[in-house]
Amino acid sequence: MKITKATRQYEEWVGAQTPLVSRDVKMKHEHMSENPLSFLRATFYRWAQRWFEVCAELAHAPVVLAVGDLHVENFGTWRDCEGRLVWGINDFDEAYPLPYTNDLVRLAVSAHLAIAENHLRLDARNACDAILRGYTDALQAGGRPFVLSEEFGWLRATATGELRDPVHFWKKMDKLRTVRTAIPKSARKALDSLLPERGLAYRVATRQAGLGSLGRQRFVALTTWRGAKIAREAKALVPSAIVWARNGKGGRRLLYQMILDAAVRCPDPFVRLRRQWVVRRLAPDCSRIDLAQLPKGQDETRLLQAMGW
């Protein structure tokens, strides 16, 4: 099956479960053609079709609850219940039981493509060695959260910068397009559930973000609370593309909350699964990290080792 047919069939499958935003789907197709890394990020459904065949010798490894769509730009920061800045994976839309090798291979492939796009300066072998070393160390240690306080100062410097300045962030949020029609009741309830007070009035806007989920509905509640701006986002979820690739076989349950609860990490208290929506807090220090925005001179070996962890 060619990619055009696979894309059409996958989008029909997703569209049968949740409304798609045609403008965003078109934008996703444009990003897919920009470079191989963007293509990889946007097409986990194609990976789900091909990986078990292309990497058949790795497909018999022990099965874990995997991230699925793991790549070098699926990392970001958030604040835990103590207000501490934490770093880690920030998207689990495609979580599914898979051989553990899936996440390792996909992360390594994304590193190769990032190197080709000059987002990373390591050579491919050293990048893979760093990822594998981080994964091995994590297994031996039983996992460990990345709290960017007393330790991991180098990572804190990498994860913060001018582009995450509150003024810049809220200007961007203020420019989001206001929704002029009624939003789904379930989305409204999801947003309301994460606000700091009942009955708080807010503006609902749409947001274009990510690549894998681009095309699905995203609603952002924007308001001011006790002297400063706040934002909450509800993003539509569907079962992992693995279900589609297997022609509907296997469980269709959304596993987003399950993998969050099982992970060895400091959880984000503002991320919750509400029926078919994942709702989260948006803030300058609570967002994905774009490789193109990383400061020059960061220790890329340690960064990839942390990603492998």
| 238-276 tens-digit pLDDT | 999 999 999 877 777 899 999 999 999 999 999 999 999
The 3-state secondary structure of 232-269, one letter per residue: EEEEECCCCHHHHHCCCCCCCCCCHHHHHHHCCCCCCC
Tally the domains of the chain.
Answer: 1
pLDDT above 90 as % of the chain: 79
24-78 residue pLDDT tens = 999 999 999 999 999 999 999 999 999 999 999 998 999 999 999 999 999 999 9
Which one, of 100, 186, 95, lies nearest residue 138 by Cα? 100
Which one, of 272, 283, 278, lies nearest residue 187 by Cα? 278
pLDDT at 286: 86
What amino acid occupies position 130? A
Distance CA 26, CA 214 (A): 9
pLDDT at 257: 93
Q: Could you give the C-alpha distances from 54 to 46, 51, 102, 110, in angstroms and in order? A: 12, 5, 12, 16
Domain that holds residue 56: 3-308
Distance CA 96, CA 237 (A): 13
